Structure 1
Amino acid sequence: MVTPRISYAHLLAKPNPKHVDSLLKFFESGRSQRGTGGFGVEIEHLPVHNSDDTAVTYYETNGIEALLKRLAPYYDEEKEYWENGHLVGLSRPGVAVSLEPGGQVETSIGILKKPSDLNALYSKFRREVDPILKDLDFRLVNYGYQPKSSFADVPVNPKDRYDAMTDYLGRVGQFGPCMMRCSASTQVSIDYVDEHDAIEKMRLGTVVGPILAYFFRNTPYFEGETNPWPLLRQRMWDYLDFQRTNVIPGLFDPRFGWEDYAVDVLSTPLMFADLTHTPEAVASGASPKELHRPAFRENAGDVYPDRELNPYEINHIISTHFNDVRLKNFVELRHWDSLPIERAERLTEIVASLFYVPENRERLESYFDGITEEEVFEAKANIQAHGRQASPYGQPLEFWKEFLGLEGLLSDIPGDPKHPDVFQE
């Protein structure tokens, strides 16, 4: 049996009740602002040179910063995001472009009403970005990990939080620098109508996410060599930092609710404190470095004032947790490798079918009724140990392919034309 992680955060610190209430109101705002059926999709792209497939960095001539500056006219000037004098994000209605630590270019799209809306918005992004990329002589590829470069070859972008994260994650786990600098994902976010609905979707997403991840795996390379793990990104996150990754502790206890999640998040050290939108800190005349600082041993109660938290502070606190499924004012499913758009749309269709079609949702809930945290850990370990011969939850992958509606999934969908398509078996 695989031993699940145990969170000791609750023994070390008791969260501020006002902060707990702030998160509960934040979760409630998701219920009141949305109904069912909406999606958000985030696709992270790896920038690689056309000449040799090595990683393109932020600071190099004709690198990521040059790309963002040339892409900026297509976005709202007042929504540009700068840090330390460098452009690091762009936004307009329906689409936002941001950077992950190693210069991965993330496109956030939504809120979508149906999966087919994804391709239309994404295609517009590509029509704008591709001519610029051609001039800069690099391209954006969709893999779970850089095809040629090592993490040691990729500097982090200018966001202050990433220097602190490098220091922290480089010491507490096995894959921190690899995850930050060279990995890339696809994430799908879904709505909820109330607390019960949110918790049930978090449980189901945690249960089936690793199985879907296997069928959508897209990581042929690791550190310039053939990837040795069936699900590299899952392995990286599982061994990153047990305080803030993997299965949410207690999620499968029937009594688990929003307050339990809020207490877990607020009780865990932040890694990095962002006080740029904390009025008390700004008014104190704190320097930019003091407003962005490491917080390796401090949790939210140590960093933020004794009052209700504002939405920026809440989002920052939650962003320091990287569970398989994360709750914001929506449910964020985080299992999957970066995917080409056709495959990302197919993934979104499957998520829609499983979570928004009542009979499919009821079938899932009935099948997994009484599932435990230990069984989820065992299923994840089974896939890592056995790959295509795996039997997560005691059933072979062929069973799950039919049960989850994945027939025809390994059809020929092009990825990066310069490399073999990982979807072929």
Structure 2
Amino acid sequence: MSIPQSGGGLIENYDQLAGLMESGCKPAAEWRIGTEHEKFGWLTDTRLPLPYGGERSISALFDALSDRFGWQPVREGEHMIGLTRNCANISLEPGGQFELSGAPLQSIAETEAELDNHLDELRQIAEPLGIRFMSLGAAPEWSHAQMPVMPKGRYRLMTDYMGRVGTHGTQMMYRTSTVQVNLDFGSEADMVRKLRVALALQPVATALFASSPFFDGAPNGHKSWRSRIWRDLDASRTGMLGFAFEEGMGFQGYVDWVLDVPMYFVYRDGVYIDALGQSFRDFLRGELPALPGEKPTLSDWADHLTTVFPEARVKKYIEMRGADAGDRAHLLALPAFWTGLMYDGAALDAAWDLVKGLDAQTREGLRVAASVSGLQGEAGGVRLLDLARAAVALSAAGLAARGRGEEIYLAPLRESLGEGRVQADRWLSLYQGEWGGSLRPIYEAASL
């Protein structure tokens, strides 16, 4: 989840809404790669989730990271809720999932170095305290009641609202983890082309990175339960964005959709003000019930953009949001996969040719099939295994064209395609075999 945004001053005209996203356009030489990943902290003696406070806690880790490694605290009231350093930040998901939002980097090799440095710093501090971090798409055993609640006003509001609008919202907030990559665009047309390819191929990413076959202590019938959760969370702010494939799509089309998504909050002076279910359109008119007579700033708009959760999200860049968290190799494969597809013109053109014939029903069908069956899923006569093979080959070609040797980071995906198996299949095989139906070994096995 995002920290409060800094977008700018008072919104004086409607064009500024699209303008905020359009301001992200930059020449290809300035395109960067920003990787984010979440992970579950757990106590090695009890296998319980890491609490926020206490001697062995998130707070203790934050203090040590700040004292020993130069991370600067981010506070909400009296609580430290994040850290920043050199354009990167560490933040907390609602259930204490520890998230690194990496700096904008030029290559996957730099992403690898950033990830390894982050994990090394964490190990130095966490392991003497009996704390480890496992990387899976969903917590395999912990119940909702066992999850800690982070002291963030945004999450208190969201928790209440999620219970009213969907059936799986609090599961997403407290018991799932993802890896995503944020990539740049050069123009409005480039944004549209990348968004369409990103949306159409998110089911491929879901299938390739599926790692959440367990929930509440047992197999759940899905390869990616995290993806299943997103399908029944809040239909007004999630999904495959069918409008993005319509003629005339651009920044304004995305703005119009976001304006119709009900608000969560307004952030003022360190406090999250309840605006649940209210309209940003009313806010623009100075008619928001939460703040009568007050009009929004661009920072308010930037905050509102963080409260929509489609499979690919537009801000000043595009976020690829369809993948479960996984092992180190997969945390690097995810940015490599999308960079290869998005940052080489020939690969992007070929990727669009691959998916432009898919209709909305097939795209949604593949999304469902990926969550249930992983690479063995299919919809509308399209097999995910075939689509994934073609997409990974295009990504490899795009990475090769960049001339940085980044194709090596696709190795775990090539292995999955060769076997027709993904991380979830491996976990299920271990559970049904040498683990004898126990999930106790998964904590160590899935730790970074």
Question: Normalising by the residue count of structure 1, what TM-score does the alignment of the two structures yield?
Answer: 0.84
Contact persistence 1:84–1:158 (CA under 8 A): no
Shift in Å, 1:309: 5.3
Say whether residues 1:296 and 2:276 are aligned partners. Answer: yes
Shift in Å, 1:17: 8.6
Contact persistence 1:20–1:266 (CA under 8 A): no
Say whether residues 1:374 and 2:358 are aligned partners. Answer: no
2:21 maps to 27
- Aligned runs of 1:55-74 on 2, under 5 Å? 55-74=49-68
Please say which of residues 192-201 and 369-378 is displaced more in the overlay.
369-378
Give the distance between the partners of 1:293 and 1:218, measured in 2 at CA: 36
Residues 324-381 of structure 1 show CA distances to partners (whole Å, capped at 9, x for unaligned) of: 1100100001111112222121222221221122222111112222433333112223
Shift in Å, 1:37: 4.2
2:260 maps to 267
For the residue of structure 2 that corresponds to 1:23, the secondary structure is helix
2:216 maps to 223
Say whether residues 1:112 and 2:119 are aligned partners. Answer: no
Say whether residues 1:183 and 2:176 are aligned partners. Answer: yes
Structure 1 gap segments, 5+ residues each: 1-15, 277-287
The runs of at least 4 consecutive aligned structure 1 residues that moved more than 3 Å come to 16-20, 32-37, 74-77, 301-311, 382-389, 409-418
1:51 maps to 45
Contact persistence 2:167–2:233 (CA under 8 A): yes
Say whether residues 1:102 and 2:103 are aligned partners. Answer: no
2:414 maps to 407
Please say which of residues 99-108 and 400-409 is displaced more in the overlay.
400-409
Contact persistence 2:62–2:80 (CA under 8 A): yes
Shift in Å, 1:274: 1.6
Q: 1:348 aligns with which of 326, 329, 335?
A: 335
Alpha carbons of structure 1 residues 75 and 256: separation in structure 2 relative to 1, 3 Å = farther
2:402 maps to none
Give the distance between the partners of 1:155 and 1:19, measured in 2 at CA: 42
Alpha carbons of structure 1 residues 75 and 244: separation in structure 2 relative to 1, 3 Å = farther
Give the distance between the partners of 2:375 and 2:242, measured in 1 at CA: 28
Give the distance between the partners of 2:141 and 2:152, measured in 1 at CA: 24
Q: 2:34 aligns with which of 33, 40, 50?
A: 40
1:398 maps to 385
1:333 maps to 320
1:3 maps to none
1:313 maps to 300
Give the distance between the partners of 2:275 and 2:321, measured in 1 at CA: 24
For the residue of structure 1 that corresponds to 2:103, the secondary structure is strand
Contact persistence 1:55–1:146 (CA under 8 A): no
Give the distance between the partners of 2:284 and 2:148, measured in 1 at CA: 30
Contact persistence 1:75–1:90 (CA under 8 A): no
Contact persistence 1:19–1:308 (CA under 8 A): no
Q: 2:350 aligns with which of 327, 345, 363?
A: 363
Contact persistence 2:377–2:385 (CA under 8 A): no
Alpha carbons of structure 1 residues 198 and 309: separation in structure 2 relative to 1, 3 Å = farther
Shift in Å, 1:304: 6.2
1:250 maps to 243
Give the distance between the partners of 2:213 and 2:172, measured in 1 at CA: 15
Alpha carbons of structure 1 residues 270 and 74: separation in structure 2 relative to 1, 3 Å = farther
2:136 maps to 143
For the residue of structure 2 that corresponds to 1:177, the secondary structure is helix
Please say which of residues 323-332 and 310-319 is displaced more in the overlay.
310-319
2:23 corresponds to which letter in structure 1? S
1:408 corresponds to which letter in structure 2? E
Residues 18-72 of structure 1 show CA distances to partners (whole Å, capped at 9, x for unaligned) of: 5642221111210048756421100101111112322112134411111111111
Residues 396-419 of structure 1 show CA distances to partners (whole Å, capped at 9, x for unaligned) of: 233123212242246899999942
Alpha carbons of structure 1 residues 169 and 92: separation in structure 2 relative to 1, 3 Å = same
Residues 295-337 of structure 1 show CA distances to partners (whole Å, capped at 9, x for unaligned) of: 1221224446759854532321111101111001000011111
Contact persistence 1:383–1:392 (CA under 8 A): no
Give the distance between the partners of 1:220 and 1:381, measured in 2 at CA: 14
Give the paired residue count.
393
Residues 172-201 of structure 1 show CA distances to partners (whole Å, capped at 9, x for unaligned) of: 111111111111100111110001111111
Alpha carbons of structure 1 residues 364 and 36: separation in structure 2 relative to 1, 3 Å = farther
Q: 2:233 aligns with which of 226, 229, 240?
A: 240
Contact persistence 1:270–1:299 (CA under 8 A): yes
1:6 maps to none
For the residue of structure 1 that corresponds to 2:53, the secondary structure is coil
Give the distance between the partners of 2:104 and 2:22, measured in 1 at CA: 18
Residues 66-97 of structure 1 show CA distances to partners (whole Å, capped at 9, x for unaligned) of: 111111135656x4211131101101114211
Give the distance between the partners of 1:160 and 1:349, measured in 2 at CA: 35
Give the distance between the partners of 2:96 and 2:13, measured in 1 at CA: 33
Q: 1:133 aligns with which of 120, 123, 126?
A: 126
Structure 2 gap segments, 5+ residues each: 1-9, 287-293, 393-412, 428-438
Residues 247-272 of structure 1 show CA distances to partners (whole Å, capped at 9, x for unaligned) of: 22411112221111112112221122
Give the distance between the partners of 2:28 and 2:58, measured in 1 at CA: 35
Contact persistence 1:97–1:108 (CA under 8 A): yes
2:376 maps to 389
Give the distance between the partners of 2:268 and 2:191, measured in 1 at CA: 29
